[in-house]
């Protein structure tokens, strides 16, 4: 029995030291990142038995991803790609303070995951999991990835898992219209939808007051739970007709990448542990806040730390 | 003739890079730290002839401590422990911004200093020093360390040195009650007491307005000077019945560890140089402020820099 | 079903950069090391399902060990020590070329593993494993560790596992006489003994020609297999009365620590996969040789690399 | 045809890691810096064909400077110094947050550039450039450097280039009086003067309201354009009798060194590209703001980034 | 007038620290490498005016390549690829001592250069260059790259340049048969062929004694000069019917990648400077030997250093 | 009472990482080096109370030198230079394997030490020291440095110290003829001369068999002891007419700089401790050999390590 299974692409993340540019750097910090594995890591860190499914090149780079995920306690179900041109997607990340901002360059075309098919994956794990999660990035990668996403959502749902989906629109992968069509098709087998306010508007064409947006989405797509994130303004959840609000916990941000995935991971972990929506929102917000203080995409945190943020907020020195 | 002698434990301080966790780091920054040697380093940096007494394992790690202290101009009077199990205490320090906070893990049990005895130390230096300083950490380490603390305070006091004591309560070492009993016993030979407001309350059971607390402590324990530190609210000193207040100098904090010791070092350095309580408080606050901009426990500063902070406050670029 | 279970202590390994001394370093490379987990990592790297049993402090440092082992695919069965003084053993490693040599300082007294007891461990794994391995370091740590070693060997043996034992004498932990008495007691439930020639002589009092030594050990202690390692002179195995010899594969040594454990891991992996003694010796020698080119205790290698060393020996550039 | 030629000294810039002091560092970050080459790099980064003239020792250190400048697209016209004592100036830079401030130690006496003479330089480039720029640092270096500055300004001006001059007073090189006399002599062949408000007052004896100061300078020295910089208060330009104001763009400052040069580089680049004073001030301010987020003296930025700052201000994440 | 123009792909080269594996590294050293730009850098370092033609993505990564090449004095003629999927090829390089060897993983499929066409490049530079050089890697990248290689060789040859070609067979890109057919077609416009002995045999089907091989190639393909490299056994050149031999200069090898390109660069530089075949072979061998002591693909050397190796061989300390 | 006093220049030593060139490095390893302070550090490391006299700029860089020397236990008697142009000499060191060799660039002209005068130094230490040592580098720095060298040798000799002198010819500072004249003048007050065989020949005009050379020098200059070093061929000492020979101990050389100074330091330490010439030569050779394994100029070794090299030679692993 697994608590949480996720499916998606994980890339190598290469970033120069702070204050140094991609054009001039002589050194990369090497990490991994991918929305769905980020969620699995947050889940595993918070005590939830988590697994991640994907396709990787059979190479030291593919194994690099597996090793890193395993180190965080995530079990991996990998279709190994033996092709000559099998490749791991990479993304280059340059952190810059204001006004330079953070720059991301993706180099993910033709990554092994773009040729994934359901039968290549150890699908049995879906028959015995409490929850299944994926995001709107995966179906944008390729037609096979889209079809596999649909198949996994359907199978997990059929097997009784709670399914969740983070819309996560990526403008470098497809247009609003393409995304809308593909994603809404997938909502049929989704129980919980996470969506950023701006994506609800731009991709899903949902204007208006946030509670209305949530109601509209829930009603139109038969969603049990809709969680709308609003950056600094916190998150709002609509669950079984009831509205829940959650402010953000302030953080000294060292690395903002992965904050949204940490939120989802914290939320799902608490739900899997049996918590209600209120508690799940708190865990989501606290995990997201802690993530901001940690370099890399991954929320390397403990349940105790999450609880402490919820109870005390502040940091301080403990000795 | 020495200006300032201190006695206590110094540990190896191991910390991961910023944004990286103890659980995942592949690298430690290696430094040393110990309240009493921190004070001696601040003193020596500020032009006061300083020495530090302790017990260390006769090993490259023990010599590491001596080398580092010597580099800052501190003379060392060390009892070398030749035992097979002689060990140097270590502490692991993980810096985290809010809301993660700073985490300290001590690994100091059975360090060589816990078996120290007065006769193992070069006590002659106490007969010819202007000042002697130690803290409430040392007597918490072991019974021999407590007895040695008492013996050194007594001898230094008898020889005419001004003795000072920083309460420095450490909850991981003993309870409030244990600390209260042991520490108040030591106050007999103490001239100047440094104590954080919260420790005065929690450990010494002193409630109420800060000036009253200072008066109460001075009266009950026959202390010539009581300095109460209040974090961002600055410090207050009671000396010969007169009250002095000192606000903090603002700082961009890179590493807060050692700030209190820098304050004490600056205060004692100015007193040793003949300054009055006002000047000592200024030096204490300015040294503490500069320390916050420097990585590590140690206040590597110059008297000129301290004076400039007192006069100008700000930083800027000088060229 | 597990292929290989090991039991023992794993420590934090702290080492300064090449050419820098423990006395003066400002930086430590942070890794982990322990004879039995080193063997498990080699096994897992070579495709053998491996697990490691031990006791660790419930702290970021304890979790650091688990994370690292998991990253190499080793499952961990850990008794978490919640004690206030729970500590992780550390060892300081200074690499030096000739004539300086390599210097190791252990700081392992009172590590959590010294209080281990069989009932704290998930012993069920022993009932379903093909092989169990431990070393002569573990019983030297403490009386509880010795008793637990005996209990685990007995249980694994009773359950039908092939048991192996690497003598691994550590002069800093006990005398020759103490080691001889304790270790030979354990041989009752051991099937395969690994022992360095010099330890066979110094600890087990076995003089004479190496084949005689092997025969004597096998006969006196009822060992199915005796593997004697002789540094640059290679290894010799006696199995069911037959003698096998294996030279070393030459290597550009970057880090010699863990070479012996890599040998054992390669040997046991091949045996577990069904190989005969000849093949196991080849895998052992090739894994050991590859390990020497890798920083850290751990043999991060693939079966393909091991096979290539056996077939070709040399390195070269592949592109 | 070159767009922009600059002339001046470039030094090796050596700085310890953040939080570490020059007194104790074991490591220097190695970069280059010099007001005039900083301007040329900003210009080249912004698409303007730029060249830099100077004198350097014929050594790996001299070539280090040329390599770095070339990497940014700046062409170099170097007089190579073959003297036995030929040296490259260095400057040591210690960044410190408040209240420590940033400390600069120059070691530039007798650098090769102090013996420069016009005939050693490839002066032909001046006959075919749209703009020529130098600063008040160069004439302060030595008498030959002062004479060469004068000769180059005169030649460039005669050839029809727009000449500009950044006053850049350095108190460690000469007195206010010396600077005033030498610099005002040079103004005869200057079209555009950049001057900090405080230098206008201290060095050029110009009190009063900033617009009056600009008018006074323009009138007294026959300057076509006067740009007065006022730190956080932004810049003001007087051009053909018209006044232009430009606020600063806010920035998360990682390294403030080179901000003024980035401003000048952005201004001159836009002017060279045909922009009016308004646009030039915007480019100057935006380039300066981006520079603050980048380690080192140099503004490694693109025209697109500058335009984005002007249009949007903020940073954010683009993906 | 340019001395040497080269054409080919340049990739980002990412390598973990010594002793660390691609599977586990947290850090990459970032450099660039490509056979033809390596040759151009060696040429420029040795005083020959060099240029490099290629196609790159219009991105910070593409500019990274240009910056690095410019820093070595190489002029760049780049077709900038504005496509959404424009990408820079990368290669991962893991150095390992024996028996692990050096492992290279290419990730170069669909790099921008694979869509290069002659008319995208600044071909005018070919009409005014003394020499043109490319390698057998480029035509293996794609059909457009092959056609462009042919077109450039033809145009340079027609314009009077001496053309040279390094066979450089890459088994990961094509088969022996494919390579043979494509490459021999290109020989029509080649004056000088560099080929490794093993490639002459495996790709060009040339068995037998090395001098015969050279004669056969020269005769069959109308080559003016044939240079056959034989690893540790040195190089042999056949020029106008005359045979020249050159042993290698011994080196402490830190990084062997790029050695062959350094040889070609040194050879061509000396030829361009007017040297005869003997001198060119010496320069080639000395440049190759120096390269081995330098990290990265590039031969950052001076003519003086090359001359010193030829004259003295040894290293020593000069002070 | 001091055991050993030395006098001379200490510089900042800046070196790029292994395999990286001064032309391209982005990072310097920061250390200090100077023949006489190197000797003092070796002496202090070996248990001899050592002091070093010199002149330094009153700056963080000057204090950097003092801090480093103090960390090794060397007491410092420094004339602080308050001049505006006070500077610390630097040297740039690029390590290269064969055939590149090691390259040193000095930037020491006009360092503060060049204006030293005897009365600026705490000469009293010379009246109470067992030994005084300096080298032929110091008098080459400037006329004042030469005069001070002479004065200190005379005073130390007059006070009864054993004086020693290492010829240490530096071709970048003066000619053979200048050196010969200046140095032989100084021999009057020298008891022990260390000289490399090649310097004896080139500078002192001493041809012929090495024992004759030693005899000639001893006789002509009234030297009690002459030690001639011959690189890999070891050292030879002539003392009171008796000849002693010492081979080198083999070493894996990581950094050869400072080997000669380590030899002198080891020799003088043993002599100061009362050892005879044989023992002194052994200590010199063993200290030199250990130094070669350590990065930097300084011999950070212990007497126990030196003894172990003498007894066992080899390194190995101790655990």
Mean pLDDT of chain C: 96
pLDDT at residue C176 is higher than 90: yes
In chain D, residues with a C-beta closer than 8 Å to the C-beta of E73 are: 67, 70
Q: Chain A to chain D, count of Cβ pairs less than 8 Å apart?
A: 68
| pLDDT tens-place values along chain B, 319 residues long | 799 999 999 999 999 999 999 999 999 999 999 999 999 999 999 999 999 999 999 999 999 999 999 999 999 999 999 998 899 999 999 999 999 999 999 999 999 999 999 999 999 999 999 999 999 999 999 999 999 999 999 999 999 999 999 999 999 899 999 999 999 999 999 999 999 999 999 999 999 999 999 999 999 999 999 999 999 999 999 999 999 999 999 999 999 999 999 999 999 999 999 999 999 999 999 999 999 999 999 999 999 999 999 998 755 565 5
* Paired tokens of E314: 């040894």
- In angstroms, rounded to a whole number, what is the distance separating the alpha carbons of residues C132 and A61? 32
Residue D304 to residues B205, D201, D283, D312, F142: CA-CA distances in angstroms?
A: 64, 36, 11, 12, 55
Chain E neighbours, 3+ Cβ pairs < 8 A: A, C, D, F
- Interface pTM, i.e. ipTM: 0.95
H/E stretch holding B26: none
What are the tens digits of pLDDT across the range E283-315? Answer: 999 999 999 999 999 999 999 999 999 998 755
Q: Which of E31, E60, E109 sits opposite A22 (nearest CB)?
A: E60
Is residue C177 in some structural domain? yes
The one-character DSSP state at A100 is T
The sign of the CA dihedral E24, E30, E36, E38 is negative
Cβ atoms < 10 Å from Cβ of F229: 27
Is E72–D72 a contact, with Cβ atoms under 8 angstroms apart? no
Distance separating the N- and C-terminal Cα atoms of chain F = 39
What are the tens digits of pLDDT across the range C240-283? Answer: 999 999 999 999 999 999 999 999 999 999 999 999 999 999 99
Q: F208: which residues sit within 8 A by CB, 6+ positions away? A: F216
Is B30–C27 a contact, with Cβ atoms under 8 angstroms apart? yes
What is the distance in angstroms between the Cα of F68 and the nearest Cα belonging to chain C?
Answer: 10
Q: For residues D96 and B293, is the Cβ–Cβ distance under 8 A?
A: yes
Interface of F with C (CB under 8 A): 71, 249-255, 286, 289-290, 292-296, 300, 305, 309, 312-319
- In angstroms, rounded to a whole number, what is the distance separating the alpha carbons of residues A193 and A299? 21
The one-character DSSP state at D294 is S
| pLDDT tens-place values along chain D, 319 residues long | 799 999 999 999 999 999 999 999 999 999 999 999 999 999 999 999 999 999 999 999 999 999 999 999 999 999 999 998 899 999 999 999 999 999 999 999 999 999 999 999 999 999 999 999 999 999 999 999 999 999 999 999 999 999 999 999 999 899 999 999 999 999 999 999 999 999 999 999 999 999 999 999 999 999 999 999 999 999 999 999 999 999 999 999 999 999 999 999 999 999 999 999 999 999 999 999 999 999 999 999 999 999 999 998 755 565 5
Interface of A with D (CB under 8 A): 17-21, 23-24, 96-104, 106, 170-172, 256-257
Closest residue on chain E to A172 (Cα): E84
Based on C-alpha coordinates, what's the Rg of chain C? 18
Nearest to D102 by CA among E193, B305, C140, A106: B305
Is E60–A23 a contact, with Cβ atoms under 8 angstroms apart? yes
The domain that holds B165 is classified in CATH as: 3.40.1190.20
Is residue B311 in some structural domain? yes
Q: Coil, strand, or helix at residue B35?
A: helix
Query: φ, ψ for residue F93 (rounded to 5)?
Result: -125, 120
What is the distance in angstroms between the Cα of C135 and the nearest Cα belonging to chain B?
Answer: 22
Interface of D with A (CB under 8 A): 71, 249-255, 286, 289-290, 292-296, 300, 305, 309, 312-319
Is F251–C102 a contact, with Cβ atoms under 8 angstroms apart? no
Q: Coil, strand, or helix at residue E174?
A: coil
What are the tens digits of pLDDT across the range A87-107? Answer: 999 999 999 999 999 999 999
Active site residue F261: yes
What is the distance in angstroms between the Cα of B140 and the nearest Cα belonging to chain C?
Answer: 15
Mean pLDDT of chain E: 96
Q: B274: which residues sit within 8 A by CB, 6+ positions away? A: none
Mean pLDDT of E109-135: 97
Band (F1; pLDDT cuts 50, 70, 90): confident
Is E71–D67 a contact, with Cβ atoms under 8 angstroms apart? yes
Is residue B248 in some structural domain? yes
Distance separating the N- and C-terminal Cα atoms of chain C = 39
- In angstroms, rounded to a whole number, what is the distance separating the alpha carbons of residues E288 and E248? 8
Kindly write down the DSSP assignment for every residue of C163-210, as one continuous string. Answer: EEEE----TTT--HHHHHHHHHHHGGG-SEEEEEHHHHHHTT---S-H
**Beta strands in A58-208, from DSSP E residues, in sequence order:** 75-81, 90-94, 102-107, 129-135, 162-166, 192-196
The one-character DSSP state at B10 is -
Note down the domain range covering F82: 2-7+35-86+110-318
- In angstroms, rounded to a whole number, what is the distance separating the alpha carbons of residues E74 and D70? 9
- In angstroms, rounded to a whole number, what is the distance separating the alpha carbons of residues C231 and C59? 38
The sign of the CA dihedral F121, F124, F125, F130 is positive
C-interface mutation test, from B87, B95, B96, B300, most C Cβ less than 10 A away:
B87
What is the distance in angstroms between the Cα of B175 and the nearest Cα belonging to chain C?
Answer: 13
Selecting among C261, C276, C278, C297, the annotated active-site residue is C261
Quote helix, strand, coil % in chain F, to nearest 5: 40, 25, 35
* Secondary structure (H, E, C), F231-286: HHHCEEEEECCEEEEECCCCCCCCCCCCHHHHHHHHHHHHHHCCCCHHHHHHHHHH
Is B21–A294 a contact, with Cβ atoms under 8 angstroms apart? yes
Is residue F23 in some structural domain? no
In chain C, residues with a C-beta closer than 8 Å to the C-beta of F293 are: 19, 96-100
What is the distance in angstroms between the Cα of A169 and the nearest Cα belonging to chain D?
Answer: 9
Nearest to E273 by CA among E74, E77, E44, E53: E44
Chain D neighbours, 3+ Cβ pairs < 8 A: A, B, E, F
H/E stretch holding A160: none
Selecting among A205, A261, A278, A297, the annotated active-site residue is A261
Q: Looking at residue D319, what is its pLDDT?
A: 57
> What is the residue whose two structure tokens read 């002839």?
B49
The one-character DSSP state at A77 is E
- In angstroms, rounded to a whole number, what is the distance separating the alpha carbons of residues D148 and C60? 63
Q: What is the dihedral of CA A154, A156, A160, A163, to 10 degrees?
A: -90
What is the distance in angstroms between the Cα of B189 and the nearest Cα belonging to chain A?
Answer: 27
What is the distance in angstroms between the Cα of B19 and the nearest Cα belonging to chain C?
Answer: 15
Q: List residues bridging with D103 in a β-sheet.
A: B318, D94
Q: For residues A251 and A292, is the Cβ–Cβ distance under 8 A?
A: yes
Is B60–C31 a contact, with Cβ atoms under 8 angstroms apart? no
Is F109–D172 a contact, with Cβ atoms under 8 angstroms apart? no
Chain A neighbours, 3+ Cβ pairs < 8 A: B, C, D, E
Query: φ, ψ for residue E131 (rounded to 5)?
Result: -145, 150
What is the distance in angstroms between the Cα of B316 and the nearest Cα belonging to chain D?
Answer: 5
pLDDT at residue E316 is higher than 60: no
Is residue C14 in some structural domain? no
Q: List residues bridging with D30 in a β-sheet.
A: D14
Q: For residues C246 and C232, is the Cβ–Cβ distance under 8 A?
A: no
Interface of D with F (CB under 8 A): 14, 16, 21-31, 59-61, 63-64, 67, 84-85, 87-88, 90, 92, 94, 103, 105, 107, 109-110, 172
What are the tens digits of pLDDT across the range E129-172? Answer: 999 999 999 999 999 999 999 999 999 999 999 999 999 999 98
Q: For residues F171 and F43, is the Cβ–Cβ distance under 8 A?
A: no
Q: Which of B26, B67, B87 sits opposite C30 (nearest CB)?
A: B26
In chain C, residues with a C-beta closer than 8 Å to the C-beta of F255 are: 19
Cβ atoms < 10 Å from Cβ of D311: 9
Q: D230: which residues sit within 8 A by CB, 6+ positions away? A: D196, D197, D210, D236
Long-range CB contacts (< 8 A, 24+ apart) of D82-86? D82/D58, D83/D57, D83/D112, D84/F172, D85/D110, D85/F109, D86/D57, D86/D58, D86/D59, D86/D62, D86/D112
Query: φ, ψ for residue E62 (rounded to 5)?
Result: -65, -45
- In angstroms, rounded to a whole number, what is the distance separating the alpha carbons of residues E19 and C275? 30
Is residue C271 in some structural domain? yes
Nearest to D187 by CA among D171, D164, D209: D164
Selecting among E81, E191, E199, E261, the annotated active-site residue is E261
Q: For residues B197 and B229, is the Cβ–Cβ distance under 8 A?
A: yes
Is B100–A294 a contact, with Cβ atoms under 8 angstroms apart? yes
Q: For residues C6 and C134, is the Cβ–Cβ distance under 8 A?
A: yes
Interface of C with F (CB under 8 A): 17-21, 23-24, 96-104, 106, 170-172, 256-257
Is A26–E31 a contact, with Cβ atoms under 8 angstroms apart? yes
Is residue E23 in some structural domain? no
- In angstroms, rounded to a whole number, what is the distance separating the alpha carbons of residues F54 and F122? 10
Selecting among F3, F81, F255, F261, the annotated active-site residue is F261
Number of domains within chain A = 1
Is residue A73 in some structural domain? yes
């Amino acid at each position: 029995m697994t608590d949480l299974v996720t499916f998606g692409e994980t890339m190598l993340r290469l970033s120069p030291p702070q204050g140094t540019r991609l054009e001039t750097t002589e050194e990369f910090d090497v990490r991994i990142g991918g929305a769905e594995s980020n969620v699995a890591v947050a889940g595993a860190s918070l005590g939830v038995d988590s697994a991640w499914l994907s396709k990787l090149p059979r190479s030291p780079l593919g194994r690099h991803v597996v090793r890193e995920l395993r180190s965080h306690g995530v079990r991996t179900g990998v279709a190994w790609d033996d092709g000559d041109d099998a490749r791991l997607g990479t993304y280059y990340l340059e952190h810059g303070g204001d006004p330079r901002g953070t720059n991301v360059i993706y180099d993910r075309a033709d990554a092994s995951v773009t040729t994934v098919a359901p039968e290549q994956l150890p699908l049995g794990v879906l028959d015995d999991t409490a929850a299944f999660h994926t995001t709107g990035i995966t179906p944008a990668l390729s037609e096979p990835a889209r079809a596999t996403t649909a198949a996994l959502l359907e199978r997990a749902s059929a097997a009784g898992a709670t399914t969740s989906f983070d819309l996560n629109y990526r403008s470098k992968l497809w247009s609003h219209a393409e995304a809308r069509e593909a994603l809404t098709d997938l909502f049929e087998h989704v129980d919980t939808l996470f969506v950023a306010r701006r994506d609800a508007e731009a991709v899903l064409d949902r204007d208006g007051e946030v509670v209305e947006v949530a109601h509209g989405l829930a009603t139109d797509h038969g969603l049990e739970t809709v969680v709308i994130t609003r950056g600094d303004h916190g998150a709002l959840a609509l669950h079984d007709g009831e509205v829940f609000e959650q402010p953000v916990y302030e953080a000294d941000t060292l690395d903002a990448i992965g904050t949204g995935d940490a939120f989802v991971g914290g939320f799902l972990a608490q739900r899997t542990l049996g918590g209600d929506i209120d508690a799940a929102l708190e865990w989501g917000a606290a995990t997201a806040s802690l993530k901001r203080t940690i370099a890399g995409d991954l929320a390397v945190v403990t349940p105790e730390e999450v609880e402490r943020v919820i109870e005390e907020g502040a940091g301080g020195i403990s000795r």
